[in-house]
Amino acid sequence: MLTPTFFFRLHNSFVQQLEDQSSSSFSRGCSSLNIHDDFLNVIKFIKNAEVEGIDKPQAVIVIGTIRVVNNHWYYMGCNHCTKKVESSLQPLQLTEGESGPPAEVVHYYCNGDICKKENKVIDAYPRYKVVFRVLDDTGTIGLTLFDGEAKKIIKKSALDVFENFTPPKENPFQLPPEIEYLIEKKYAFKFLVSADHIAKRFTNYTIMTLTSDPDIIRALEDKSNAEENSALIEVEDATGATSSQKNVHKVVSISDDNITPVSNALKAVNEMEHSEGLKAEA
């Protein structure tokens, strides 16, 4: 027999389920809005060539295409603190009554402060550490994608990828297809230029978050183009620059990290115009 208590519990369970679904939807909506606001209204958007010129710690955004991925795409991370672990082979201790040939097992050691202090028993699992170079129209920079953000775009854990991929013998450094998928993909990347980057000239940056949302990327590019055009108009008004000189910012090399200085490109344009003027007089 169905009692009133049963219906009361059923009702409460149904209400709680609706509240959980509503809360989850609200959380996803807020997250989407926060990412949109973060990329478009909060953080400074710059080009790759401008990153090395930053002299104060700050978060920035660049847009670029992933061109080269390092084949060391994961590390073995501590199951407690996620830090990289060290490993060593230890003889397998046989219990009383067991016999067999000598064998060794892997033991992991974590140098994290908490793990060492509490003498934790350590296990380790593959975690993403994907290092790649990102190209825009001014050059390339090095970025590193760690486990949390990597799982969002790869949709699998590093352990899943690791366990289901064996590189061929003829190419032991081949990337898993889930990692190769990233190559030639375009993203907006947010990362921190830290005090250490500035003081020690570190040139690889850890990604805080990234997005391939076409609306966000388009809005950032439109905003950048508008700012560039405005700056060029101001320069032309102040110096009387020619149309060739207005377009000099496009004369850059994107071969590896070599960026042609604008001053050299401007000099080349001036020499070309001078030569054309002499020909006309002749």
Domain boundaries, the chain: 36-75+126-213, 80-122
234-277 pLDDT, tens digit per residue, is: 666 666 655 445 444 443 433 344 333 444 444 444 454 445 44
Q: Which pLDDT belongs to residue 76?
A: 96
Q: Which pLDDT belongs to residue 279?
A: 45
**DSSP-based three-state secondary structure for 142:** strand
* C-alpha dist (Å) from residue 85 to 78, 79, 114, 122, 237: 6, 10, 13, 9, 59
* C-alpha dist (Å) from residue 92 to 76, 100, 104, 106, 253: 21, 10, 5, 9, 57
Among all chains, which residue has been given the structure tokens 């990153």? 51
Backbone angles phi, psi at 210, to 5 degrees: -150, 160
Which ranges constitute the DSSP H helices of 122-213?
A: 147-154, 158-163, 177-180, 195-200
Joined tokens for residue 70: 């390092």
Q: What residues contact residue 27 under an 8 Å CB cut-off, 6+ apart?
A: none
71-112 pLDDT, tens digit per residue, is: 999 999 999 999 999 988 888 777 777 777 777 888 888 988
Backbone angles phi, psi at 88, to 5 degrees: -150, 155
- Distance from C-alpha of 241 to C-alpha of 234, rounded to nearest angstrom: 10
Q: Could you tell me how many residues make up the chain?
A: 282
Q: Which pLDDT belongs to residue 238?
A: 64
16-39 pLDDT, tens digit per residue, is: 443 444 333 333 444 455 788 888
CATH class of the structural domain 36-75+126-213: mainly beta
The percentage of the chain sitting over the pLDDT mark of 90, rounded to a whole number, equals: 50
- Kindly tell me the sign of the dihedral angle through the C-alpha atoms of 206, 69, 54, 223: negative
Q: Which pLDDT belongs to residue 69?
A: 98
Backbone angles phi, psi at 126, to 5 degrees: -60, 135
Q: Which pLDDT belongs to residue 175?
A: 98
